A and B are shown apart, each in its own frame.
Chain A
Amino acid sequence: MEVLPTYMDVEHSRAYIDQLYSNDSQKCFQAVSELKFAVIGSVREKGSIIEQGVVVRLLQILRAPDLDILLKTEVATVLNSLAKGLPEHAASLVQAGLLPVLWEQLEACVGGSGTSAYTQMILCCLRSVYRQGCAPPPPSWDHKLLTTLIQHGYHPPCNQECVANILAHACKVSRTCEQQQQLVDAGGADLVACMLCSPVSRVQLPALHCLAAMCYNNERVSSIIATKSYGGKAVPDLLVGLMARDRPQDMQLAAATSLTFLHRSGALSADDPKIIFKTLQCLVRMCRRDREVWERVEAANTLAYLTEVSTELQRTAAMTDHLIDTMNDYLKDTTSSTGASVPQGICGSPISCRQYDNPSTWPELMLEAALKVYASLSANDEDIRQRVIKTDGLMNTIVTSLSAACPPVQLAAVRCLHSLSRSVHTIRTTFQDHMVWRPLMTVLKTSNNEELVTVASSTLCNLLLEFSPSKEHILDQGAVEFLCGLTRRPHPGLRLNAVWALMNMAFQAEHRVKVSILHHLGTDQIFRLLSDTDVHILMKTLGLLRNLLSTKGHIDQIMQCHGKEIMQVIPNVKLQIAATFCISNLIWNVEEGAAERQNKLREMGVYKLLQNLMTTTDTALFDKVKIALQQFH
């Protein structure tokens, strides 16, 4: 049907496009109708029409207050058809200023009579643009606008479908806490609850995506949504219904995702049967070999998130349906699916934003997802860790992935390594065999991704524990200098991990290591850390000092070099507390050689200083001083 020579096509187009600009509304309507028939179903025609700049004129018609509603409806139909073309087409429409006009028209529709067909078409058009994944959220998430949109979402089903899709996509593009809250304030939670009960799956599915987006990482919104109900059934129960095994798979997955987010936001507890039985089993089921790749990836990612914290969920997941083996398939599939043909019409979840369009990325996505699942599963339970470690080829995969080009895979690998590094046994055996410190140090030194460095440095902490055979190797890689540098970073997590790692490093270390730490860190930095606002950093710094100052010989040497600086700490109250803490540690009665240290400190006038501090008005300091004094014999 598209074999017409181009020149005829152009001629043909021109004929009605000219009429489009006519002031005679009858002629104009005729032209729009012809235009409609021309563009429906023809991607090429859509492109050509957009290139000819017709959109501007169409928008003009929409905004003209005196033009007939039938004409406007016809125009909206054409715009909807254009938006359904390629993503580029939708993008051009957005660029031409389509969205503000549509929103404005939607607002104008409220309360008007005889406008239902028009409203419907406006909503369809918005839906089509949003589904292309290229649209920004509704302008400024204006409350009035959202309320209008949500009002349209109750009836009829075709409007519901449109509104559900618009919200689902808009939420995906930006889901900040404020926007989630705004959506709920505008009645989004009630609407979604209503939509879940729709008999039309094309309404239910986007409603689920919208619900998930609203709940994600938002305690307040989640607690509101969890108490909403429709038709006498609470939202969590509705979700369980939609997750039933005879539902379409994408719906099961979307419902499981919503429940996962509700759980992680604290609205449902881990031991709630809806979570530990239904959601967990559903997600594990969705990871099976016979599912679509995008479903497997999404399911595994969601599962990793679901089981990230709760040991109970980790244990249950680890024994459910051979999950650990299933995840191993994800690692192995990396090569086999590369050349696979692209399934036609793969859309993935509507909120996936075309993440799964390119099959060549699938192996990486699967690898990342599986590593995340392993990371979550082995976070707390040593038995699970050992089962995970025994997974065929996992350690090699982790090591290779650490040096992968793709940052998400790297991050997942480091997360996995981090969980596994909590096992003394593993650190001593498998990690040693695979020399994991090498790629790990490379990641630390080369990456500027803060999240990645945080997790990697946290892993390093574990590898620097005194029983770790990797410790020496890591020192050889210049870890001291690197970690000391890390203590100066603005990100508190990084500072904490760095100090922590140094503390571990200093524990029962050789004198040269301690000297090296002190040298690279510098007393100034130690004091800065001692006055850090983050109490954890403060504690770890004191721990570091304690470790540096342990065993008599080392203390003596260090006190000789740095005793004065430690004493200088006294003036500042906070520092006073910290220093007193430090002194307490030094003179702790139970420790070997405490008496000698006490004498030494007494010689330095510390006892007197402490006695003077007893006059302080600061109760915290007073308590510490008192404790310290009690240690003196």
Chain B
Amino acid sequence: MATSSGRCSVEPPLFGSHSGQDPIKALYPMVNEEETPLPRCWSSKDKYSFIGLSQNNLRVHYKGHGKNHKDAASVRATNPIPAACGLYYYEVKIVSKGRDGYMGIGLSSQGVNMNRLPGWDKNSFGYHGDDGHSFCSSGSGHPYGPTFTTGDVIGCGINLIDNVCFYTKNGHYLGVAFTDLPSQLYPTVGLQTPGEVVDANFGQAPFVFDIGEMMRELQCRVRTTIQNFPVPDTYGQWQTMLHRMVSTYLVHHGYCSTAEAFARSTSQDFDEELTSIKNRQKIQKLVLGGRMGEAIETVQQLYPGLLENNHNLLFMLKVRQFIEMVNGTDTEVRGVSRSPSRPPTHESSPSPPCWSNGRTTDPVPGTSSTPPSSSTTSTPVIQQHTSVIQSTKNVIGSGPTSASPVTTEELNQRNAQDIRATSPPSATNGTTPVIHPPAPSGSSSSSSSSSSSNSSSNMHDSDTEMECMEPNSHHLQETNNSLGDTSHSNGFSNGFSKDVDIQDENEEAMEVENSLGSRKMCGGNPAAIERMLAFGREVQHMSQVLRRELGKNDHNKKMLQDAFSLLAYNDPWNSPVGWQLDPLQREPVCQSLNSAILESHQLPRRPPLEICVAHTKQLINLMSRSGLGSCAFASVDSILGSQQ
């Protein structure tokens, strides 16, 4: 959404994409309303008795006798202004100036006397209509702006970066009124004589003043600050660190050739042998291609002892293998079911959800049953990162648990939230404790983006497909490129499994022709179904053994239940549990396996680059909680996006 260079786009990236949403929320995208709700109306409790409210608590009228200043009355909004607004603004229309027009508009802290006009007391700030003076925690005002009266619209804005307050009158900017404001201020209005009526607009309707443009200016300023932030790099350590981050990322995800080339040009070494990377790459391709049987075999072959020591992981792989059998993609059923009329594999499953944002990564790791080994030989920095992340994780409480059963709708929702705000998704199904370390959902979204582009590219050749891929799905592209083969036009999921053995490719390509027909379980081959059922019993047995040995595990139970539920439907793809057949569900499995392999070699479970992004997001959340308004304009995604 922020792909234009900013300089040439008239519409800004941040404020253009919220039509149809809650307009107040849209003004302040970085505010997490669960922690810090926005002011949306006047408080019916936090007001003096001479104040009356109407029209959804947006209209304020005076109902005292209004003899002198002792009859002044104020009302605060329901919530204080969250710092993560960055720039907060509300407008008040003077419906009637009443008898004398002694009206004050401004801000005050909780607990400030409501039998007063805003500005008269400590931690209270107001602009008064009768004399145009500004009152800064004092009974005597200073000349500030013009007077205001019936029909005028007065706006009050607070810049939470510089902690200053300004006003507008009928859309004209009057300038800064107060500086060095305290935090946690509430929008406040005060009235003093009969007949005074004002209406508030907290953003539910368009403002008279163009606040959006001011926000863009601040955003631009914050971004410039970030981009120009000086990094003292006397000994080139900074650059070396950046190089390492890139290199470890490439290695982690198994982009061998790229990693090799990068390491060559930046003269670094790997922590891992090239063959090991290639092995992992091979396994990842198998998993992502749905060939679980082969994948498990390969792991057992290449990393003896890994699965034997990690039963839960093995169980997860087996369950996935079962699902792939139903899908008709696993090698065991493929071998049997292969026939010219074989119904299509999963690639013709209903269009994957359109997760348009391929770069949304939410790398907060889930609770891991296997904490990082302390005896690891990897760099201490990385260890430290991991632990910090896990501690911040505890603070948030709900990390994304991609491995837990989540409906596609939920995932959609979650990802959509990720696009809007980088706060940790809350839609996660938190009922099931996670046993297996979940993979970052980022990789699943990249998979989804690739598969969505894939589904649409059935009619195109794969050159086009590659071009329309999101940049962050480049590991998929990379795989294709590394094989020097861009001619696959079979629409096969994400271009992985076909690469494992090239001889399959032509058949795959031919099979596409009738891929749009109806799908049948295990490719509709009775022998394959037999095998699948036998395998199912095997998995169930394993589950029982696991239960005996390791105790009850709700997650494993649910996983198995969901998998077996597929058999209850004629058309599992269109069943309530059909989401399991979606190729993107291979991503978390793949990530878990990859992380386990790396961990067994004393390598970090997650690449430092992803940890760094996660850190940054956490820090921005922390800024929000600490009242630092700049966080409103420091969205990691939009900053990364704007630098393309």
- On chain B, the residues within 8 Å of A247 by CB distance are 7
CB distance from A244 to the nearest CB of B (A): 6
Instruction: Answer whether residue A201 sits at the interface, using C-beta atoms and an 8 A cutoff.
Output: yes
Q: Are A322 and B175 in contact (CB under 8 A)?
A: yes
Query: For A241, what are the chain B residues with a Cβ–Cβ distance below 8 Å?
Result: 10
What 0/1 pattern do residues 319 to 341 of A give for CB contact below 8 A with B? 11110000000000000000000
Q: Report A103 CB to chain B, min CB distance, Å.
A: 32
Candidates B5, B12, B173, B213; contact of A320 at CB < 8 Å: B173
B640 beta carbon closer than 8 Å to chain A = no
Minimum CB–CB distance from A279 to chain B (whole Å) comes to 12
Which residues 278-336 of A sit at the B interface, judged by CB distance below 8 A? 280-281, 284, 316, 319-322
Q: A178 within 8 Å of B by Cβ? A: no
A277 interface residue (CB < 8 Å to B): yes
Q: Which of A199, A246, A320, A322 contacts B217 (CB 8 A)?
A: A246
* A201 to B6 CA separation, bound complex (whole angstroms): 11
A277, B10: Cβ atoms under 8 Å? no
Question: Within residues 164 to 219 of chain A, which ones have a CB less than 8 A from any CB in chain B?
Answer: 199, 201
Using known A-B contacts A199-B8, A246-B12, A277-B210, determine if residue A320 contacts B216 with beta carbons closer than 8 Å. no
CA distance A443 to B525 in the complex (A): 108
* Contact B213 A319, beta carbon cutoff 8 Å: no
A320 pairs with B172, CB closer than 8 A: yes
B210 contact set on A, CB distance < 8 A: 277
A280–B213 Cα gap in the complex (Å)? 15
B-chain residues with CB within 8 Å of residue A246 when the two chains form the complex:
6, 12, 213, 216-217, 219-220
A/B pair count, beta carbons within 8 Å = 45
Q: Which residue of B lies closest to A323 (CB)?
A: B175
Q: Enumerate chain A residues within 8 angstroms of B171, measured Cβ to Cβ.
A: 277
Q: How many residues of A contact B (CB 8 A)?
A: 17
Query: Please, which residues of chain B bring their CB within 8 A of the CB of A320?
Result: 172-175
**Are A199 and B169 also in contact (CB < 8 A) when A246-B12, A320-B174, A321-B174 are?**
no
- State whether A244 and B216 are in contact (beta carbons under 8 Å apart), knowing that A199-B5, A199-B7, A277-B210 are contacts in the complex: yes
Complexed CA–CA distance, A319 and B154 (Å): 13
Distance A247 CA – B176 CA, assembled complex (angstroms): 22
Interface centre among B12, B145, B172 (most CB of A within 10 A): B172
B214 interfacial contact with A, CB 8 Å: yes
- Report B329-369 CB contacts with A as 1/0, cut-off 8 Å: 00000000000000000000000000000000000000000
A319 and B5 form a contact (CB under 8 A) = no
Contact, CB under 8 Å: B219 / A281 = no
B174 touches A245 (CB 8 A): no
- Chain B residue at smallest Cβ distance from A252: B217
Decide yes or no whether B206 CB sits under 8 A from chain A: no
Shortest Cβ distance from residue A324 to the other chain B in the assembled complex, whole angstroms: 10
Query: Least Cβ distance of A69 to chain B in Å?
Result: 34
Q: Which of A218-247 contact B (CB under 8 A)?
A: 241, 244-247
B371 within 8 A of partner (CB): no
Interface digits, B262-299 against A, CB 8 Å rule (1 contact, 0 not)? 00000000000000000000000000000000000000
Q: Are B213 and A245 closer than 8 Å at their CB atoms?
A: yes
A277 to B168, CA, bound (A): 11
Q: Which of B142-174 contact A (CB under 8 A)?
A: 145-146, 169, 171-174
Q: Can you report 23 residue pairs joining A to B where beta carbons are below 8 Å apart? A: A199-B5, A199-B8, A201-B7, A244-B216, A245-B214, A245-B216, A246-B6, A246-B213, A246-B220, A247-B7, A248-B7, A277-B171, A277-B172, A277-B210, A280-B172, A316-B172, A319-B169, A319-B172, A319-B174, A320-B172, A321-B174, A322-B175, A322-B176
Cβ-closest 6 pairs across A and B: A199-B8, A245-B217, A321-B175, A246-B220, A246-B216, A322-B175
Q: Give the interface of A toward B (CB within 8 A).
A: 199, 201, 241, 244-248, 277, 280-281, 284, 316, 319-322
A-B contacts besides A246-B12, A248-B7, A319-B146, 13 pairs, CB < 8 Å: A199-B5, A245-B213, A245-B216, A246-B6, A246-B220, A277-B210, A280-B172, A284-B173, A316-B172, A319-B174, A320-B172, A321-B173, A321-B175
